[in-house]
Amino acid sequence: MAPVRGTDLVSGGPYAGRVTKDWYAWHADYDQPDSALSRRLAELRGRIRDALDVAPAGPLRVISLCAGQGRDLIPVLAAHPRRDDVIARLVELDQRNVAVARAAVAEAGLTGVEVVAGDAALTDRYADLVPADLVLVCGVFGNIVDADIRATVRHCAALCATGGTVFWTRHRREPDLVRTICDWFAEAGFTPVAVSRPADGVWVGVHRFTGTPRSLAAGVRMFEFVGHDRREPSLADPREPR
């Protein structure tokens, strides 16, 4: 079956038969300097750079869930003095985005960075890299139901090392969950570093883990993207950046 115009029809895995947004074409807004996504990207890169600047000496572990083309992380690592200290794994389902990210990693010569094609929601993808110093959960909370957001925040306490940093994004249309998400991070042992709005309706959150990492449960699905054909408007607006 040919994909629906502007969307992809997932052919296998947990999202089989579900129409979802075309996450490859979605990246085009990054190239528009005045777009909300472009401003969000600039904010994320700055926050990631800041976290690397103050990270402790020695090897650094980084994981990125639903990494897309890696535009938030890869350019920062490429230019950062700690680049050779980083062991990173970016997990992305869309094979086209995976190809772009792998090409960017190769061009930057980031030998410690791997891009994995697969379902980023599965805990097993990260078992050998946790607890991590940087955890990116960007583009996720705007596309999953509230219960999955809360569950993912709780899993971050297993994904993240003590003193490590989690980065996340969320739109602020109704229902406005930004404050609630911050409360959920507090419950899980995180303290806020920054929660900023680089563009109207787009928020970037940065939280530092101050607790003791718990064991990462094996074989667990942390969240499930809600396809645009089935999404309830009150949960996430399809026009919002993920």
> What's the burial of 216, exposed, middle or buried (CB within 10 Å: 0-12/13-18/19+)?
middle
- 195-208: per-residue pLDDT in tens? 999 888 889 999 99
Q: Please determine, for residue 33, whether its predicted confidence score (pLDDT) is greater than 90.
A: no
**Domains of the chain as residue ranges with CATH:** 33-209 (3.40.50.150)
- 174-201: per-residue pLDDT in tens? 778 999 999 999 999 999 999 999 888 8
| 45: three-class secondary structure by DSSP | helix
- 62-103: per-residue pLDDT in tens? 999 999 999 999 999 999 999 999 999 999 999 999 999 999
Any bridge partners for residue 91, and if so which?
65, 116
Show Cβ contacts of residue 194 under 8 Å, excluding neighbours closer than 6 positions.
47, 204, 205, 206
Q: What pLDDT sits at residue 227?
A: 55
Range scoring the smallest mean pLDDT among 2-16, 135-149, 151-165, 218-232: 2-16
Q: Provide φ and ψ at 235, rounded to 5°.
A: -90, -40
**Quick one: average pLDDT of 56-63?**
97
Q: What pLDDT sits at residue 93?
A: 92
How do the residues of the chain divide into helix, strand and coil, expressed in percent and rounded to 5?
35, 25, 40
| 88: three-class secondary structure by DSSP | strand
pLDDT-derived band at 112, boundaries 50, 70, 90: very high
Show Cβ contacts of residue 138 under 8 Å, excluding neighbours closer than 6 positions.
44, 64, 66, 72, 167, 168, 169
Whose structure tokens read 């895995």?
A: 13
pTM for this structure? 0.85
Mean pLDDT for all residues in the chain = 86
pLDDT-derived band at 239, boundaries 50, 70, 90: very low
